[in-house]
Amino acid sequence: MSFVNVKKQYLALGMMIFVLLFLINNNKPAFQCQFNQEEPVYLPTIYGITPTYARLAQKADLTRLSQTLMLVKNFHWIVIEDSETKTKLVENLLKESGLKYTHLNVKTHKSKHSTASGVEQRNLAMDWLRGHLKSVEDKRGVVYFMDDDNTYSLKVFEEMRKINKVGAWPVGIVGGMRIEMPLVTDGKVTGYNAVWKPFRPFPIDMAGFAINSTLFLDKPEAKFSRKVQSGFQESEILKYFTTRDQLEPLADNCTKVYVWHTRTQKPSIIDVKKLKHPVPVFDSIEV
Ligand SMILES: *[C@@H]1O[C@H](CO)[C@@H](O)[C@H](O)[C@H]1NC(C)=O
Ligand SMILES: *[C@@H]1O[C@H](CO)[C@@H](O)[C@H](O)[C@H]1NC(C)=O
């Protein structure tokens, strides 16, 4: 064996070891990469149920809300118009938002006994949701009843993904108070601070709780009702799913406000057609 041949064999062996090390190393990518590929973080779907009705500030309100929702991962927006037919305004807004959405409509049947809004719309949304959940494999998620003019921090969505059955948290500026919320002792709900109709079974606002979506299949009879007095819709739906002291307190044991019951002021508009010196009218432009 000549010296040159020995050198060549060592060289080949060295190269083989190099290639082997390269392959082994390639199988062990950076930690984060491996984490994303093999153990994706599970994010339950949030189903936001939003009744809406035609009014001058509707597009402004829906624009603001939809642009919050664009920042929420794994979100499905169920928007129900209080109307005989779906409007182009809402249809276009939903399409352009890029959100995952379901667009429904049903006209309200108000009577002199019940002026509650959103009853038929939320019930229709729950019917749709039950059908949808039956058709999908992963039924996990949470249902949140959202007004179209409230203000939502992104943090409220992070909180509700932790829900086991029904979670609750404080709501800002509602019921005549700075904060309306469950009172929490040792991590358990022990009471409520509401002063408006405190005798309600659940004296909390619609924006202050969310419900595990799988429970909607367990309780097919759960729905809102026109038969209850004003302010009792929250209690009406919650009674199917939980009890006063079983609510899961979120938002750091109900010490943080992540949602506000803001109301958009009704705009007062001048009828420019009736002015002595008329100004141009732009009726064809959507506002
Ligand atoms: C809801 O309930 C289901 C079934 O018990 C459970 O698997 C899931 O983790 C719960 N929470 C959420 C947010 O889906
Ligand atoms: C809520 O309070 C309980 C009991 O004091 C505590 O164990 C838990 O860590 C608290 N949770 C948060 C998120 O602060």
Give the span between the Cα atoms of 262 and 81, in whole angstroms.
20
Per cent of the chain over pLDDT 70 is 90
Q: Minimum-distance ligand to the CA of 190?
A: 2
206 CB under 6 A from ligand 1?
A: no
**Residue 109's pLDDT band (cuts 50, 70, 90):** confident
Atom 9 in ligand 2: which residue has the minimum CA distance? 187
Confidence grade of residue 37 (pLDDT, cut at 50, 70, 90): low
Instruction: Answer yes or no: is pLDDT of 36 > 70.
Output: no
215 C-alpha to ligand 1 centroid (Å): 9
Domain boundaries, the chain: 45-168+205-244
Dump pLDDT digits (tens) for 268-287.
998 888 899 989 989 999 99
- Rounded Cα distance between 12 and 65, Å, is 65
For residue 221, the number of C-alpha atoms closer than 13 Å in the C-beta half-sphere is 2
Mean pLDDT across the stretch 85-94? 98
pLDDT value at 4 more than 70: no
Residues with catalytic roles: 234
Work out the mean pLDDT of the chain and round it to a whole number.
91
Residue 141 Rama label (left phi>0; alpha psi -120 to 50; beta): left
Model confidence at 7: pLDDT above 80:
no
Amino acid letter for position 156: V
Average pLDDT over residues 134-148: 97
Among the bound ligands, name the one nearest to the CA of residue 254.
2
pTM reported for the whole predicted model: 0.86
Measured by CA distance, the residue closest to atom 7 of ligand 1 is: 140
**Which residue's alpha carbon is nearest to atom 1 within ligand 2?**
187
The pLDDT tens digits for 178-190 are 999 999 999 999 9
Residue whose Cα lies nearest atom 3 of ligand 1: it is 140
pLDDT on residue 13: 76
Residue 44 Cβ inside 6 Å of ligand 1? The answer reads yes
Q: Please report, rounded to a whole number, the percentage of residues in the chain having pLDDT higher than 90.
A: 77
pLDDT at position 10: 75
Across the range 242-262, mean pLDDT stands at 96
For the Cβ of 264 lying below 6 angstroms from any atom of ligand 1, the answer is: no
CA of 221 to the centre of ligand 1 (A): 20
Rounded to the nearest angstrom, the distance between the alpha carbon of 261 and the centre of ligand 2 is: 26
Q: Assign domain 45-168+205-244 to its CATH superfamily.
A: Spore Coat Polysaccharide Biosynthesis Protein SpsA; Chain A (3.90.550.10)
DSSP code per residue over the chain = --HHHHHHHHHHHHHHHHHHHHHHHHTS--HHHHHHHHSPPP--EEEEEEEE---TTHHHHHHHHHHHHTTSTTEEEEEEESSSS--HHHHHHHHHHT-EEEEEE------SS---SSHHHHHHHHHHHHHHHHHSS---EEEEE--TT-EE-HHHHHHHTT-SSEEE--EEEETTEEEE-EEEETTEEEEE---SSTTSSS---GGGEEEETHHHHH-TT----TTSPTT-HHHHHHTTT--TTT-EE-HHHHT---EE---PPPPP---GGGSSS-----TTS--
* Ligand (nearest to CA of 167): 1
Whole-angstrom distance, CA of residue 100 vs CA of residue 10: 61
Measure 223 CA to ligand 1 centroid, in angstroms. 20
Q: Which of 3-17, 26-40, 122-136 has the weakest average pLDDT?
A: 26-40
Predicted pLDDT at 22? 65
